[in-house]
């Protein structure tokens, strides 16, 4: 039996969705098949996103931007949107049972010095980690309960 597929969506699939993908894989990759995509992929992963994930021991340097339509023929059990634009443009996916919207600030829009931008990236990473930790714990509880 394969693990349920989770698709994390954001508009550009360059930052928040990759932070979330890396975090959820780290937290629950043994029980969930985690992917990310965007409605208008930017074509790259933000370097500061890669950097702040490396700081906590998660390597997302091999991630790349993907379009959400690439997943339309896959069984996606749960779709998680992490920005308002993706939430509004999100289609239904085959097999989709759940949809969650957890909006986070876009750290790619941070201004200031590199040090100030890093603070924003770290804050958003940590906010995403708190939400996804609770989600992963809930999914593990469901498995233990046999649901």
Does the annotation count 83 as an active-site position? yes
Does the annotation count 10 as an active-site position? yes
In the set 6, 7, 8, 10, the catalytic residue is 10
| Cα Rg of the chain, angstroms | 15
- Determine the distance from the C-alpha atom of residue 93 to the mean position of all C-alpha atoms in its chain, rounded to a whole number: 16
The set of residues, in sequence order, having a beta carbon less than 8 Å from that of 146 and lying 6+ positions away, is none
Query: Order of strands, edge to edge, in the sheet holding 33-38?
Result: 33-38, 5-10, 78-81, 98-101
Angle at 35 between CA 40 and CA 49, to 5 degrees: 70
- Determine the distance from the C-alpha atom of residue 86 to the mean position of all C-alpha atoms in its chain, rounded to a whole number: 12
In the set 50, 82, 90, 128, the catalytic residue is 90
Does the annotation count 15 as an active-site position? no
Q: Please count the other Cβ atoms lying within 10 Å of the Cβ belonging to residue 47.
A: 10
In the set 34, 83, 86, 124, the catalytic residue is 83
Catalytic residues: 10, 83, 90
């Amino acid at each position: 039996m394969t693990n349920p597929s989770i698709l994390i969506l954001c508009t550009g699939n360059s930052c928040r969705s990759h932070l979330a993908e890396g975090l959820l894989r780290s937290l629950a990759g043994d029980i969930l098949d985690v992917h990310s995509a965007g409605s208008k992929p930017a074509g790259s992963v933000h370097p500061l996103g890669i950097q702040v994930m490396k700081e906590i021991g998660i390597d997302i340097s091999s991630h790349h931007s993907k379009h959400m339509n690439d997943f339309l023929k896959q069984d996606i059990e749960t779709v998680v949107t992490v920005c308002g634009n993706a939430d509004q443009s999100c289609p239904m996916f085959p097999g989709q049972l759940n949809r969650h919207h957890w909006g986070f600030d876009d750290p790619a829009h941070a201004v200031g010095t590199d040090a100030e931008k890093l603070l924003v990236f770290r804050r958003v990473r940590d906010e995403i980690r708190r939400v996804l930790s609770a989600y992963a714990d809930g999914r593990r509880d469901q498995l233990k309960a046999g649901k």
